[in-house]
Structure 1
């Protein structure tokens, strides 16, 4: 295998078939001159650098120079401007030396620029066998691509050669070479890499017994520009590397290039032997080829973060989001939340932000409270972005519901990473962890005076009731909200307290609530009633055995004594009001009965007055007599003297009629 120690730092190439003898090139100021007795006849301008050259050596190997000079209307053209030449003046200097037959050393630092310049100048085999394109291609194929270090260096040097390096497949070939070596078995690695423990001897290769960590390639790949890093990671994915290693490499890269992601991330800052993003053209190499390794790139570490501007950071964040593997937990939830924080701050494309939010929702139960406290960058309504956490919670619930409804889905099927392959807990346990997380988040955001009651209530009620076995966390959040918003009305305080259930409060929470004067009186009564019911149930269960419930107070008297004096006074006043209302109700009932009796008497009198008044004395007396007779007849039938009574009855009216007549 070719490596930096297997060949000279520069492979010299030269040719002396141009018939022009020269002792080399020398520079005076911004101008280059050929050491020869023949005066120059063409001037080549590249930027602020001027080359005083001869036509014949250039025309014999550069087809582009032939076309420019002979197809020009001015046959005596003696000046060319090649500002668009890839590689700039440095690459053209090497190409010109090659045309003059001067030995040129090919190295990993100059090969990409020289290859692109040769393509630009059209230095093909049609003009001369063994031209510059052929020689640079051979060096790339047989030397660079077989070396881990040189592949990294060449790919790094291609940053300023777009689109030539892309069109010539230099980026693709170097990316695949790096990917192939990164996926190789670490036991067989023989090349140098950053972070390798230095051997005590002067041997360039590591000892055979040394263990190579699986992340040995992270630091070397992290010096690449983001688009080239994406190309390498994509090639590594195709070759089947474990997704957890790919995720770890992405975390390492993001922590190095984005200072905001370095919190809590391993290897966030480059080591003394690490590489910076300084240009390869400015890199200095220590020692000879035997030293090898990317740690020989020298640059100032402080240049690393300061060169990354907002636009570049946005591109890095967008690219990292797009290459994160689809497997769950390939990167930590903490890293995803920090990446989401930066995405909102840099105003990344909404589609990528939504995708990142879904990824966070997939593993939301592993989030921490500090990572959730994301500032609100878009509006100044609240200090923290509560709407974002609401969306994350919704994504989590949707994910849990879809997994719970799918009979073939195993939540722990793809969770084998840094935890040693431990299995994911049940959906209920995940919801419980999320519930504790949300309760802690509500406690923090409740201190914001601009936090609306509606947002607080919606976020608190987003989780199902089964997610919380205890509402102590919700009680703390409610109490914090009441402290920060002392101007709430009685109705708003009651509405706020509806988010928690008094039956789910622990003993300590009940004791605190019973003495909390910020709570509505009704809520305190519910807390005390709930505790009293627990006491009653505990006493009832105690008859059949030992009760597992331990009431917070032994009896009702102690329970009442533990309440604030203001609540006791309120209860006394309320009791007096209730007794007064009861007395008034009884009085109203008595008055109602009297009025009802009077109404019945008046009704009877009214019925009497409604009878006809124009009746004669004869008619009135006759009716009375008939009534009296009927009464006597009925009494006679009951005593068994029906006959005697009947005769008497017949005689009496006859005598009465006779006397009247």
Structure 2
């Protein structure tokens, strides 16, 4: 036996082998040596193998097979390696036939043997996949999982003792934690696999009609204990695979709480737009099951807002698209949640008026039976957004205080919310759904535009008129007269509570007084502007380098 061939395996190691012996088994080596003979001027030939699955270890197994005249010991621990190298080296004869025959015994392998072979397969992709080896092992694994309905799989396999050893004693602590749920015995076994392998397994389980709730629970377990504990690139890959798999399952396969947990983990990883959209869609579909703490997601860096309100708006759009509008209970639950959220974000002074309005109007009107909470949120928002210059403050302004405020806060006032924006925000209130108490507060609230107060009063007048008409109709023939006294008492109490005429006159008087004061202050502002302009011109024309304030502002 001569060593007349040098084989460079993946740049890792060089083997000196007998060309004739190895070429008789490998079609790939025959082709490579034929090309080398045509170009080589020396007796010793040299060939290079690139991308050999299994590297030097696999090549050594192949040479032993060839030198032993096609005999080798196969086991679940090396069959995957032998099968892949047989394909790669085009060993269409004995070795490939032997591996295929050995794979027929997979149904009789123990659980540890299946896992050992699977771990080896994940290092040999894509050859293991293209050769069909991976599919056979995964089918066996999935069949073993889906066939077992108990928390312990000990009775499901011909190798029951091996199953019991693997699942009952392999990790006592983790088994107690992960096997609390029926069918979760395999969770800790699979967390050692990479995301690509997990994807292959889960997709096969879905084809085999495995329980989607169990699959969803496993994916969240893998998120916590498996693929996201490694390098940043692997974390990103694992999160993307998990999101993609969850998206392919039934909508109720994973809880809303778990999805928000996935959102927290994946947000720093900068996933693709498609992946983000899938996760947001899943959360939006279950928006009515979220909690306020779930929604208070800090804004990303570079955003002025305290919270990511754009994300919440996307959730709501997904919720409505998924049929949230079709269920009255779900819609009202979402409305209640959004009312709480509005109260939390309203104090954010950097929240733009149109964005705040978008949050208020994101859900249809039927999502709320009462708009009192919306009124309170708007009141809080205006309290923050409107500068210190409000009609209420104007009543107590002295000339000196106003001039000082004007000089120090001119730019700030101009940056605040406009009357038009206030009208748009207040226009989101359904006055028919306001309590009488809230209507009275609006009428007296100087932060709200005067037209808003009038609309609130008109709404209450309409309610009273409707109540009177209903009472009048109830007194027609056929109505029970015993209820008349009760109806009269309700109307009297309601009218006293509103006291519409007095409130309207009081409001009218207050508005006229505020309008006069605003006009006076506007005149004063124009006068001060002229004086400040003159002072600036005088200072520029003067020879002195010192700076001075206008007399009115000193």
TM bucket (normalised to shorter chain) is 0.5 to 0.7
Task: Tell me how far 1:168 sits from its aligned partner.
Answer: 1.0
CA distance in 2, matches of 1:379, 1:347: 15
CA 399–478 in structure 1, closer or farther in 2 if over 3 Å, else same: same
* Cross-structure match for 1:333: 256
* Cross-structure match for 1:167: 130
Counterparts of 1:6-25 in structure 2 under 5 Å? Answer: none
Asked whether the 8 Å contact 1:44–1:51 carries over to 2, the reply is yes
CA 515–107 in structure 1, closer or farther in 2 if over 3 Å, else same: farther
Task: Determine which structure has more spread, i.e. the larger CA radius of gyration.
Answer: 1
Asked whether the 8 Å contact 2:247–2:278 carries over to 1, the reply is no
Structure 1 length-normalised TM = 0.56
* Cross-structure match for 1:368: 291
The reply to whether residue 499 of structure 1 matches residue 399 of structure 2 is: no
Task: Tell me how far 1:220 sits from its aligned partner.
Answer: 2.6
Q: Pairwise CA RMSD of aligned residues?
A: 4.7
Gaps of 5+ in 2: 387-415, 472-482, 516-554
* Cross-structure match for 2:12: 48
* Cross-structure match for 2:105: 142
Asked whether the 8 Å contact 2:256–2:286 carries over to 1, the reply is yes
CA distance in 2, matches of 1:546, 1:41: 115
* Cross-structure match for 1:321: 244
CA 529–353 in structure 1, closer or farther in 2 if over 3 Å, else same: same
Higher relative contact order (Cα pairs below 8 Å, separated by 6+ residues): 1
Asked whether the 8 Å contact 1:194–1:216 carries over to 2, the reply is no
The reply to whether residue 89 of structure 1 matches residue 52 of structure 2 is: no
CA distance in 1, matches of 2:459, 2:256: 39
CA distance in 2, matches of 1:251, 1:66: 50
Counterparts of 1:450-461 in structure 2 under 5 Å? Answer: 450-461=350-361
Q: SS in structure 1 opposite 2:347?
A: coil
CA distance in 2, matches of 1:246, 1:428: 30
Task: Tell me how far 1:195 sits from its aligned partner.
Answer: 8.6
Task: Tell me how far 1:342 sits from its aligned partner.
Answer: 6.8
The reply to whether residue 177 of structure 1 matches residue 125 of structure 2 is: no
Q: SS in structure 2 opposite 1:181?
A: helix
State which of 136, 160, 169 in structure 2 corresponds to 1:198: 169
Asked whether the 8 Å contact 2:216–2:246 carries over to 1, the reply is no
CA distance in 2, matches of 1:165, 1:81: 22
Task: Tell me how far 1:212 sits from its aligned partner.
Answer: 8.3
* Cross-structure match for 1:152: 115
Q: SS in structure 2 opposite 1:192?
A: helix
State which of 456, 470, 474 in structure 1 corresponds to 2:374: 474
Alignment coverage as a number of residue pairs: 453
* Cross-structure match for 1:309: 233
Task: Tell me how far 1:177 sits from its aligned partner.
Answer: 1.3
Task: Tell me how far 1:502 sits from its aligned partner.
Answer: 4.8
Gaps of 5+ in 1: 1-19, 21-38, 126-130, 257-267, 271-275, 278-303, 405-426, 579-661
Task: Tell me how far 1:437 sits from its aligned partner.
Answer: 1.9
* Cross-structure match for 1:643: none
Task: Tell me how far 1:457 sits from its aligned partner.
Answer: 1.7
Task: Tell me how far 1:481 sits from its aligned partner.
Answer: 1.7
* Cross-structure match for 2:198: 229
* Cross-structure match for 1:465: 365
The reply to whether residue 69 of structure 1 matches residue 33 of structure 2 is: yes
CA 140–546 in structure 1, closer or farther in 2 if over 3 Å, else same: farther
Counterparts of 1:273-292 in structure 2 under 5 Å? Answer: none
Q: Deviations over 1:105-145 (max 9, x none)?
A: 645444322321233333443xxxxx433333333331487
The reply to whether residue 544 of structure 1 matches residue 511 of structure 2 is: no
Q: SS in structure 2 opposite 1:50?
A: strand
The reply to whether residue 449 of structure 1 matches residue 413 of structure 2 is: no
Q: SS in structure 2 opposite 1:309?
A: helix
CA 212–114 in structure 1, closer or farther in 2 if over 3 Å, else same: farther
CA distance in 1, matches of 2:50, 2:292: 55
Counterparts of 1:208-287 in structure 2 under 5 Å? Answer: 213-253=182-222, 256=223, 268=224, 270=225
| Range moving further from structure 2, 241-250 or 97-106 | 97-106
Task: Tell me how far 1:468 sits from its aligned partner.
Answer: 0.8
Q: More helix per residue: 1 or 2?
A: 2
Structure 2 length-normalised TM = 0.66
* Cross-structure match for 1:414: none
CA distance in 1, matches of 2:104, 2:281: 43
CA distance in 1, matches of 2:495, 2:311: 42
CA distance in 2, matches of 1:212, 1:342: 24
CA 213–78 in structure 1, closer or farther in 2 if over 3 Å, else same: same
